[in-house]
Amino acid sequence: MHIFEFIRPTDPAAAIAAAAQSKTAQQGADVRFMGGGTTLIDLMKLNVETPDRVLDINRLSLDKIEDTADGGLKIGATVRNSDLANHPKVQKDYLVLSQAILNGASAQIRNMATVGGNLLQRTRCVYFRDTAMSCNKREPGSGCPAITGHNRTLAILGTSEHCIATNPSDMCVAMAALEATIHVQGSKGSRVVSFGDFHLLPGNTPHRETVLEPGDLITHVTLPPPVVGSKQLYLKLRDRASYEFALASAAVMLTIASGRITHARVALGGVGTKPWRSPEAETALAGKPANDATFRQAAEAALRNAKAQSENKFKIELARRCLTYALKMASMS
């Protein structure tokens, strides 16, 4: 591990001021905020992350879950995943988020991982994680050995010729479906970013994963007021029964009236280079009868633009089945 200075800022402003000195907030940042450490320490051990300064933000009182004035929920950036998943309001009104989190990682990691950290979770692509390998995300321009190598678990949506790395988060898939808003404080003040705008597609710049700039501190996430009568489900498919990243997952929210779908939100995980909201699927569902044919059509629509690599063609059909079944089970719930 690269040697670093460990700093515990006393307030967010000090943290932001210290972080603003970093050259970048993206890959290669020389100042990093430390939340649960589950991603950052892992990558620091691998020398994928080599910050000179580590800012411990765990004692900045960003760990509250509060109701918002409009009936939504405000979730502090250092709220632990397990606290969020087990929060009564989340379990009642945002079940898909609770399920997504509880399907991720292990109980220990969920006790450590923070909401803010989970928004910034890095890909599990084995080439990204090994500094002996080339990787456009880690070292822009060095090449992508995954495209001609081991890519079974990698992305089929949102890929580019430079990067096919999957976003591994479960929580983010639910937040994409829930249309969460991310609140950021930076050296130029605070701003809000809608969930769909937060993560970037790899394109020609796979090292840029989010819109964050140096000094930007995620302070909290807000969820809009719950959709009345929304049937929610998170379904995750993987090789083993637990403690594994998704091969395909789906977060779905359906409101059904008189057998017709009046409101639908769909996001996919394990298949996209970012948490994959699917407006195509939502369009295919809106106003349609809640039946198997509609669900399958939505799944077809969601995967229409999928592009397989040498080892992961199966993920297209797996994701279709995942979404079809999630919609079916949600509609019956």
Nearest approach, Cβ of residue 32 and other proteins (Å): 12
| Edge-to-edge strands, sheet with 231-237 | 231-237, 248-257, 260-269, 276-277
Which residue lies nearer to other proteins by CB, 147 or 201? 147
130 lies in the binding site for other proteins (CB under 8 A): yes
Q: HEC profile for 153-210?
A: CCCCECCCCCCCCCCCCCHHHHHHHHCCEEEEEECCEEEEEEHHHHECCCCCCCCCCE
Which residue lies nearer to other proteins by CB, 26 or 249? 249
Residue type, 273: T
Residues that contact other proteins, how many (by CB under 8 A)? 55
**Which of 150, 166, 170, 130 is CA-nearest to residue 271?**
166
Q: Which member of 69, 228, 241, 332 binds other proteins (CB under 8 A)?
A: 241
Nearest approach, Cβ of residue 10 and other proteins (Å): 14
Interactions with other proteins, residue window 57-86 (CB under 8 A) = 58, 82, 86
Interactions with other proteins, residue window 283-322 (CB under 8 A) = 313-314, 317-318, 321-322
Nearest approach, Cβ of residue 314 and other proteins (Å): 4
Place of tokens 């892992």: 42
Which residue lies nearer to other proteins by CB, 34 or 75? 34
240 lies in the binding site for other proteins (CB under 8 A): yes
Which residue lies nearer to other proteins by CB, 61 or 148? 148
In whole angstroms, what is the distance from residue 51 CA to residue 259 CA?
54
251 lies in the binding site for other proteins (CB under 8 A): no
Residues in contact with other proteins, shown as a per-residue x/- string from 85 to 104 under the rule CB under 8 A: -x------------------
Phi, psi of 289 (to 5 degrees): -65, 140
132 lies in the binding site for other proteins (CB under 8 A): yes
Q: Which member of 65, 109, 201, 211 binds other proteins (CB under 8 A)?
A: 109
In whole angstroms, what is the distance from residue 27 CA to residue 41 CA?
14
Which residue lies nearer to other proteins by CB, 240 or 258? 240
Q: CA 86, 171, 160: angle at the middle one, nearest 5?
A: 175
Number of helical H runs and strand E runs in the chain: 12, 12
Phi, psi of 115 (to 5 degrees): -65, -45
Nearest approach, Cβ of residue 230 and other proteins (Å): 22
Interactions with other proteins, residue window 4-43 (CB under 8 A) = 4-6, 34, 36-38, 41-42
CB 53 within 8 A of CB 32: yes
* Backbone conformation region of residue 74, classed left if phi is above 0, alpha if psi is from -120 to 50, else beta: beta
Nearest approach, Cβ of residue 325 and other proteins (Å): 5
Interactions with other proteins, residue window 133-162 (CB under 8 A) = 133, 145, 148-150, 153
Rounded alpha-carbon distances, angstroms, from residue 257 to 176, 284, 294: 23, 16, 15
Q: CA 51, 244, 195: angle at the middle one, nearest 5?
A: 60
Q: Which member of 106, 204, 305, 333 binds other proteins (CB under 8 A)?
A: 106
Residues that bind other proteins (CB under 8 A): 1-6, 34, 36-38, 41-42, 45, 47, 54, 56, 58, 82, 86, 105-109, 111-112, 124, 126-127, 130, 132-133, 145, 148-150, 153, 235, 237, 239-245, 247, 313-314, 317-318, 321-322, 324-325
